[in-house]
Amino acid sequence: MTRRTMLALAAGAVMMVLPACSSNSPAAPTPTGPSQARITVTASAPLLAFSPRAGFAFRITVPATISEDAGVGANINFVRLQQMFRGVEVERSEISSADLVVATGSNRLNANATRNINLIYDVNDGRATSGILTFGFTDDRGTPQSVDFTVSY
C-alpha cells in the first residue's frame, strides 16, 4: 500500500468514529427511584458499667436501631460518640466500619431494612452526663449522610 492510500484509509476510519462522539448521541439513562437513602436512627438508654479493658475506666453500651425506608441501601462508615458535660465535649470515641464488621458481621444497611446493633464504647471521663452519637453513612448512590442522636446517662 502506498502512503497516500494508508492516509486515506486512516482519514476514513476517523470519519467513521467521529459521528459516535457527536453531541447528538442519546444521553445515558437517568436512574429512577429515590435520589438518596432515608435513614433514621433511634437509641435506647445507654447501659453503663466498668470497662473490662485495660486503660479504660467505663463501658457505655448503646442499643441502637437503624432503618432505611427510601429503597436505597447504605454502608455505615462510622459511629462517633462525643461525651458531653455541661455542654462541652470531654471525650470522643469512634467505631469504624471495620469495627462494625468485626463486631456484627457487616457495616451494611440494606434498602428498606432495619438493623439492631449494640454500640460499645470504652471511655475514661466519668463526668459526662450525655453523649451525641453521630452516624456516618454513604448510600448506594454515593451520597454521604450523617445522623445525630443524643443520649442521656
The three three-digit cell numbers of residue 103, written as one number: 463486631
For 15-67, the pLDDT digits (tens) are 444 444 445 556 666 667 899 999 999 999 999 999 999 999 999 999 999 99
pLDDT, mean of residues 10-19:
45
Give 148's strand partners. 134
The count of domains in the chain is 1
pLDDT, one tens digit per residue, over 70-106 is: 999 999 999 999 999 999 999 999 999 999 999 999 9
Can you give the C-alpha Rg of the chain in angstroms?
26
**Is 13 a domain residue?**
no
The C-alpha atoms of residue 55 and residue 51 are separated, in whole angstroms, by 9
CATH code at position 100: 2.60.40
Whether residue 48 contacts residue 59, with contact meaning beta carbons closer than 8 Å, is answered with yes
| Residues 19, 59: Cα–Cα separation, whole Å | 66
> Which residue range(s) make up the domain with 139?
39-152
Nearest CA among 91, 93, 110 for reference residue 37: 110
Instruction: Please tell me the distance from the alpha carbon of residue 91 to that of residue 125, in angstroms, as a whole number.
Output: 7
Whether 20 maps to a domain, the answer reads no
Per-residue pLDDT, 114: 98
Residue 22 lies in a domain: no
Look at the block and give the residue holding cell 444497611.
109
SS3 content of the chain, % helix, strand, coil (to 5): 20, 45, 35
Classify residue 67 by its DSSP letter.
E
Q: Measured between alpha carbons, how far apart are the two ends of the chain, in Å?
A: 86
What separation in angstroms does the CA of 9 have from each of 12, 21, 35, 36, 46? Answer: 5, 19, 47, 49, 75
